[in-house]
Amino acid sequence: MRTVTQRKNIAGFRIWMLHLGYNILPLKGQGFIAKAIDPQLKRQIKRKHHYILVTDLFSGNMAAFELGKEFEEHLKA
């Protein structure tokens, strides 16, 4: 698993996921699972982005890494 985002940006990443329409389920520590539940949202995003895992070590699955990279680019702009 790869690092999703920087430690200081993890709360912002979680809020960003909420605004995108994901349902957030907290894990132990600062980790969370984000699921696309809304059928309309599922049609708009890639299938591999329907389930996102971020662990308390700020690593996650490939979908989380890709969205984390996009989030970091938004922060730089």
- pLDDT value for 13: 93
Query: pLDDT tens for residues 21-53?
Result: 999 999 988 899 999 988 888 888 888 888 999
Q: List strand residue ranges (DSSP E) for the chain, in order.
A: 2-3, 23-26, 32-35, 51-54, 59-60
Which token pair is 74? 């938004």
Q: For the chain, give every domain's residue range.
A: 2-76
In sequence order, the β-bridge partners of residue 34 are 24, 52
Measured distance CA(33)–CA(18) in Å, rounded:
11
Query: pLDDT tens for residues 14-28?
Result: 999 999 899 999 998
pLDDT of residue 1 exceeding 80, the answer is no
What are the backbone dihedrals phi and psi of residue 21, each rounded to the nearest 5 degrees, phi first? 110, 10
Strand 2-3 and strand 59-60: pairing? antiparallel
